[in-house]
Each structure stands twice: as C-alpha cells, then as structure tokens.
Amino acid sequence: MNILLTSLTVVAAVGSGLVAGLFFTFSTFVMKALGQVAPSNGIESMQAINITVMNPITMGVFMGTAVLSLASVVFAVFNWSSPSSAWLMVGGLLYLASFIITAAGNIPMNDALAPMDASTSNAVEYWQHYLKRWTFLNHLRTCAAALAVAAYALAMP
C-alpha cells in the first residue's frame, strides 16, 4: 500500500471513528436524557444542538470523511486486484451509508423540528415521534460508521 493510500485509509478510519463516537453519544445517553426532561426543554435543547453542530470542525470531519470514503470506493473499483480493495470498498460504503441516513433521515427531522414553538401541543406530539424515529436512525448510522472504522482497519497491511 503506498503512502497516499495508507494516508487516505488512516484519515478515513479516524474520521469514521470520530463520527461514530459522536453518533454513539447520542444513541447511548444524549437522546435518553432529552427524553427524560419536559418535552419543551428537550425540544429547545435539541434545537440548540442542531444549530451548534453546524460548525466548521464537525462539518469538516463529517463531510471530509464522506469525500475520503467516496475516494476509497473509487480506488477499490479501479484497483480491485489490490489486497486492500475489498475492505476499502466496504469501509467507504458503510461510511457513505451513515452519511445517507443522516442526509435522508436525521437532517429532515431536524429541519422539521427547527421552527417549532416548543410550548405548543403540536411540537410536543412531534417530539414523541422524533425521539423514537431519530434515535432509531441514529443507531443505524452509528453502527455503519463504527463498522466503517473496522473495515478501514482491516484494509491496512
């Protein structure tokens, strides 16, 4: 494995691990804590989290890892005879799956929650659905990103 491919694999693994860890915290305790407080407090807290998460560091790791994962898939396709190609393909596809789950599932739910007045019954009703569905999707993307780390590790010589 040449230095460029090794670097891509290591950085993609680290990025996947950081993202998996971020998602893991939400799956294991953040959403549970938000579900234990008054719905209006949970809603307002999640609205604040969804604004705060949109920062250059978090988005840089999240988006940058997607780009590296796409690059690893492309490398695997064009270098299938390389011993690391299958694991690079798996790692890239798993991380991209977590990215797609986020873009198609979690973000639209966040966008729907964003304008809601937390004190209304409509918001409270949506919050009950949000907690279950958003957390389920988060479990899926956590697993995908964590498994991507394992696949990238297996791609290393």
Single-letter residue type at 99: F
Nearest residue to 91 via CA among 69, 66, 61, 60? 69
> CB–CB of 16/91 below 8 Å?
yes
pLDDT tens digit sequence for 50-87: 999 999 999 999 999 999 999 999 999 999 999 999 99
For residue 117, pLDDT over 90 is answered with yes
CA distance 26 to 59: 17
pLDDT tens digit sequence for 22-61: 999 999 999 999 999 999 999 999 999 999 999 999 999 9
pLDDT at 8: 94
- Rounded mean pLDDT, 14-28: 98
pLDDT at 157: 74
Neighbours of 41 (CB within 10 A): 12
* Residue 16, φ and ψ in degrees, nearest 5: -60, -40
- Eight-state DSSP code of residue 103: I
Q: pTM higher than 0.85 for the full model?
A: yes
Place of tokens 């949970």: 42
CA distance 36 to 154: 39
